[in-house]
Amino acid sequence: MSSEDSPQTTPDAEFDAFAEDYDAALDRGLALTGESKTFFAEGRVKWLAGCLRKAGHTPGRCLDFGCGTGTAAPFLLDLLGAESITGIDPSEDSLQVARRDHGSTGADYTTTADFAAEAEFDSAYCNGVFHHIPPADRPGAVAQVFTALRPGGYFSLWENNPWNPVTRFMMSRVPFDKDAILLWPGETRRLLRAAGFEICRTDFAFIFPAALSALRRLEPALCKFPLGGQYQVLARKP
C-alpha cells in the first residue's frame, strides 16, 4: 500500500514494481513459518468473524483498506459473510492484479485517489498497511476509514507485532518491508481513539509455526499475551 498525495504513503511505484511478484517477495519472509500468505489471510478473517459474531454485528458492506492484490477479498466474502467488498489501494498495478485474480460480483476495486465515501460501510478491514505509512500521515489514513464507516461500524486493523523478534526477522527478508516503521499496539490504539473510534479489543495471533501446528488450539487462550506474529485492534465508530 502506498501513495504520494493521499494519507497513505510510500511512492506508488514501490508497490507497482511488486504487483506481479508480490507473492514471491512475501513468501521469502513467510518461509520461516512454514505457511503461505493464504493461511494468514484466512486466519485473520476467521478471527475477525468470531469477534463480530460476539459483538452481534453484521459485516454488511466491507471496506478493504489497502487491499493490494486482493488476497483478503474471497475470505471477507465467504468467511466473514460481507455482502460486498470495496478494495482501495494507491497502486493501480496491484489493483489490476486484484481485479484479475479476485474480481467477482461481490468485490470491486478502486484507487485511493478515486475513493470517496461517507458513512457507506458497515465494516472495514486493514492488514499490514500502516507500517508503510509515514507516522505523520497515519492520522489522515485512519480518518479516511472513520469517515467511510456508518455509525456503529467496526474497523479491524491488523499490524505486525514489534515485540516478536521472528516477525522482525521475516520482515527484513521482504524487499518492501525492510524500511517499514512498525506500530506498537498502544500506539495503534491511541491513533484510533484520536480519530474518534472506541477501542473494543486487542488480540495477538499466529504464535506457532507449521512445525508446532498441534499447539495452535491453545492460541485463543493466549491471544491477550503479546506473543503472536501479528495483532488486531478492533475498534468501533460510535
Tens of pLDDT along 122-165? 999 999 999 999 999 999 999 999 999 999 999 999 999 999 99
Domain boundaries, the chain: 12-236
**Range scoring the smallest mean pLDDT among 22-26, 36-40, 89-93, 176-180:** 22-26
Q: What percent of the chain has pLDDT over 70?
A: 86
DSSP β-ladder status, 121-127 and 107-111: unpaired
Report phi then psi at 6, rounded to 5.
-120, 175
Percent of the chain with pLDDT over 90: 76
Would you state the CATH architecture of domain 12-236? 3-Layer(aba) Sandwich (3.40)
The mean pLDDT of 60-74, rounded to a whole number, is 96
Residue 125 CA: distances (Å) to CA of 28, 154, 166, 177: 24, 9, 24, 20
Is the separation of the CB atoms in 196 and 237 below 8 Å?
yes
**pLDDT band, residue 100 (cuts 50/70/90):** very high
> Residues, the chain, total?
238
Among residues 76, 67, 74, the alpha carbon closest in space to that of 49 is found at 76
Q: Taking the model in full, what pTM does it have?
A: 0.88
